[in-house]
């Protein structure tokens, strides 16, 4: 049932010349609707025609959205008013602003912010975007949609043509024509659907089935849009809408092709899109905040994980510091009877150095690295740091203990025992496996996270220089 329109809220004006507004398919340049003068047509869609116009009151360009027919049906009028009101309630840099809604000689229209840039659909017409540019665009859209959700709205038609960058490169969400109010003011309830609405190329399976939806349907559409931006094509193609809907619900999504890009970056983006486009809403991100964090982890502009060589050099520097400290401690006592104690002290000192300030050691600080929580991006907790260090400190402590137990045999110049040989082999294996895991993480694993990073839910990255709320420009 269309919502009751408050006609008194709409401005009813006449053209300056008193002439009726033409009812043709396209409004001529120079025509006035209210205090707006038509300059040229920008585009058209199912919701109406969009014109570049001049706001004569404030002398600024605006985008004017006008119903394509005289007055339009009640449903069309309701939809246009709902779009304007919904978009006007969302105050955010990543959402196009609404300035005015009115009616002139039977023509319902609203004026909104004019964006001189291109839609993302126009931008990728010449080829796909880079991973970082695509992530920056999607992150901006998420920030805008998060604000819409806080205002109680679900967009329901996220796609490349509804994401537009302005002349400064800031991406904004446009076209709230299919928006629906959620069950509560804060947007935490599902949206009941009365008809199929949206764009099937990017539509979540539950939305295509006409089931109640929430923000996770928009997250699915964002995932399909991200795939399109990076790959240059939507994730699925079909001859009919029914076939397309079936593919989204049941088919395996194609992987993101590497195409000469960094293997780790492609693996990370593919995993991100996989979760965003999970067929079941329960398997997607539960909130925009959670999605934002995942985007930042996958973006080298926001979070640049430490690679193989920088981690190796930072650890080597820490080991040199530990060795120097131990050597200075034993210098006054000589080396005759200090092996057992020296081994234990070396491990203890290195453990202390490795803990550092929540995992940021001297070596890491020199190479501008920091240890953070993989979930929040903030400094890792002491508990996480201790767990991380324990994954490889404990094996080294076991090795040191075994060496100490065999110390008498070594002092008596007896051949090495089986236990000692096994311990030395184990130490070598730990070192080799650790380096291998670091190499695998650096070149193929999402976020470049090693075993000890995954166990402790941490990530070693270059020190962040960008605020988590600072916009990413394209």
Active site residues: 157
Q: Are 354 and 397 in contact (CB under 8 A)?
A: no
Q: Both tokens of residue 226?
A: 């991200």
C-alpha atoms less than 13 angstroms from C-alpha of 72 in its C-beta half-sphere = 22
Identify the DSSP state of 254: P
Q: Are 262 and 194 in contact (CB under 8 A)?
A: no
CA distances from 28 to 14, 31, 65, 116, 344 (A): 16, 6, 14, 21, 86
Alpha-carbon gap, residue 408 to 416, rounded angstroms:
11
The owner of tokens 């979930």 is 375
3-state secondary structure at position 179? coil
What strand order describes the sheet that includes 11-13? 11-13, 98-104, 107-113, 60-66, 48-55, 36-45, 32-33
Alpha helices in 131-198 (DSSP H): 131-150
CA distances from 114 to 47, 50, 166, 187, 325 (A): 17, 10, 8, 28, 64
Residues in Cβ contact with 187 at an 8 Å cutoff, skipping those fewer than 6 apart: 148, 149, 150, 151, 152, 153, 154, 214, 215
- DSSP H or E segment with residue 81: helix 74-89
Residues in Cβ contact with 66 at an 8 Å cutoff, skipping those fewer than 6 apart: 27, 33, 48, 49, 50, 51, 107, 108, 109
Identify the DSSP state of 163: E
Closest CA to 247 of 259, 235, 260, 258: 235
Burial class of 75 by CB neighbour count within 10 A (0 to 12, 13 to 18, 19+): exposed
């Amino acid at each position: 049932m269309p919502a009751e329109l408050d006609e008194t809220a709409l401005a009813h004006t006449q053209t300056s010349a008193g002439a009726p507004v033409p009812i043709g398919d396209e409004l001529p340049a120079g025509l006035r609707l209210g205090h707006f003068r038509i300059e040229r047509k920008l585009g058209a869609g199912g919701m109406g025609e969009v014109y570049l116009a001049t706001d004569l009151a404030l002398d600024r360009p605006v985008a004017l959205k006008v119903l394509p027919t005289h007055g339009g049906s009640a449903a069309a009028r309701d939809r246009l008013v709902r779009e304007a009101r919904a978009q006007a309630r969302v105050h955010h840099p990543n959402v196009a602003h609404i300035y005015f809604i009115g009616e002139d000689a039977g023509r319902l229209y609203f004026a909104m912010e004019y964006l001189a840039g291109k839609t993302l659909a126009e931008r990728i017409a010449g080829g796909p975007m880079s991973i970082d540019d695509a992530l920056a665009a999607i992150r901006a859209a998420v920030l805008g949609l998060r604000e819409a959700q806080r205002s109680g709205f679900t967009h329901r038609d996220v796609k490349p043509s509804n994401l537009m960058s302005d002349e400064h490169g800031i991406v904004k969400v446009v076209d709230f024509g299919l928006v629906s109010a959620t069950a509560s003011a804060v947007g935490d309830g599902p949206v009941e659907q009365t008809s199929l609405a949206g764009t099937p190329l990017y539509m979540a399976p539950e939305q295509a089935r006409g089931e109640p939806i929430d923000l996770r349907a928009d997250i699915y559409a964002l995932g399909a849009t991200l795939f399109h931006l990076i790959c240059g094509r939507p994730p699925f193609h079909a001859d009919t809408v029914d076939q397309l809907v079936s593919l989204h619900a049941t088919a395996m999504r194609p992987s993101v092709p590497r195409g000469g890009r960094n293997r780790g970056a492609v693996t990370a983006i593919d995993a991100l899109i996989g979760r965003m486009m999970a067929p079941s809403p329960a398997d997607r991100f539960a909130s925009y905040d959670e999605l934002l964090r995942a985007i930042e982890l996958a973006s080298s502009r926001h979070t640049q994980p430490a690679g193989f060589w920088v981690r190796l050099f930072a650890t080597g520097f820490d080991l040199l510091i530990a060795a120097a400290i131990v050597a200075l401690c034993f210098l006054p006592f000589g080396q005759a009877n200090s092996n057992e104690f020296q081994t234990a002290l070396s491990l203890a000192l290195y453990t202390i150095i490795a803990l550092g300030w929540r995992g940021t050691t001297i070596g890491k600080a020199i190479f501008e690295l920091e240890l953070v929580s993989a979930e929040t991006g903030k400094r890792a907790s002491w508990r996480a740091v201790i767990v991380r260090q324990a994954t490889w400190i404990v094996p080294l402590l076991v090795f040191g203990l075994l060496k100490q137990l065999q110390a008498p045999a070594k002092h008596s110049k007896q051949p090495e025992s089986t236990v000692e040989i096994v311990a030395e082999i184990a130490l070598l294996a730990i070192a080799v496996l650790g380096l291998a895991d670091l190499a695998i993480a650096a070149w193929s694993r999402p976020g470049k996270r090693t075993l000890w990073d995954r166990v402790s839910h941490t990530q070693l990255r270059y020190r962040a220089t960008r605020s988590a709320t600072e916009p990413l420009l394209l």
